[in-house]
Amino acid sequence: MSLPIWTPAALSSEARPFRGGVWRFVEAQHRVSTLKLVDTLDEQALLEDLLEESKPVLPPECAGLDYLLATPFRYGAIYPHGSRFRRAGRTLGVYYAALTVETALAEMAFYRLLFFSESPATPLPANAADYTAFSAAVATEQAIDLTLPPLDRDAPHWAHPTDYAACQALADDARGGGLAAILYRSVRDPAAGNNLALLTAEAFAAPRPMERQTWRIRLSALGVQALCDHPPRRIGFSREDFSADPRIASHG
C-alpha cells in the first residue's frame, strides 16, 4: 500500500487553532532516585546539575521551560528507535501527550506491557509503582487534526499499530509547512481518545505543568491496574484491550 501524499503547502492549508491542556505520565522516582545517592539536599542539587550537564543540550526554544516539558526536545543524541511522528537517528524532538489523563494512562499502560512482552525473561514487578500524571498548556494556531476531513481519509495509515512510515513522512511535511502540532486518534486507548504530537516547544502556553496527579500502577499477567487518590479514580486495562497490536497479542 503506497503512502499518502500530503505536501507542506497542502498541510499548511489545513491548519487550525488548538488550545488546551495535554497529559503525560512519568515515573514518580524521576527526582527522588538521586536522593538515595547523597546525604543532603545541597548534594542532591549538585548531583542533579552534574547529570543535567552530561545530557544532550536543549534547543533555544526550550529556555525557561520545566524539564518535564523540555526533555523530549533535547538534541545531540541519537534517537534509538523511531516513534509514530519521529524518525530514528539525530532527529528533531516530539512531545507526545494525550488530551485526557485516561488516554495518557492507556498509552503508558500499553508501553509498559509491551516492554515485558518483548522481554519475557524479565519478571513483572512484584509491587505497584508510583507515577505522576501532569498536564501542560498548549496554544497554537498551527495544528492539523488527522481525525477530521480531509486528513481522516488516510486513517488506516495514521492508525497502523506498528508501521510508522506514513506518520513520519507526514510529520516531515508538517514541519516543512510551519505546523506546530498534530492531533490524532490514540491507537492504544481502548476508548479511542485523542493524542497530540507537539513538533515545537514554542507551542507551550506556560513554562511549567498546570496540574499533577499521583497514581499507583500495578502490572500483572492479566493487565494493568491503576489507582489515583486525588481525585479518586480506579482504572484497569486487560491484555485483551491491547490485542490489536501483534506484539502484545503474540505474548498473551
Point out which residues pair with 139 in neighbouring strands. 19
**Using an 8 Å Cβ cutoff, are 197 and 95 in contact?**
yes
The pLDDT value recorded for residue 39 is 58
Those residues of the chain that have pLDDT short of 70 are: 1, 29-56, 249-252
Residue in the block written with cell 500499553: 110
CA distance 217 to 227: 6
- The pLDDT assigned to 28 comes to 80
Q: Would you call 109 exposed, middle or buried from its count of C-beta atoms within 10 A (0-12, 13-18, 19+)?
A: buried
pLDDT at 78: 85
Give residue 110's pLDDT. 96
The pLDDT value given to residue 37: 55
Quote the pLDDT of residue 59. Answer: 87
Q: Which residues contact 187 (CB under 8 A, 6 or more apart)?
A: 159, 160, 161, 244, 245
Torsion angle of the four alpha carbons 178, 65, 198, 87, in this order, in degrees rounded to the nearest 10: 90
Strands (E), the chain: 16-27, 95-98, 129-145, 181-185, 194-198, 211-220, 223-228, 233-238
Question: CA–CA separation, 245 vs 199, rounded Å?
Answer: 25
> What does the pLDDT read at residue 1?
62
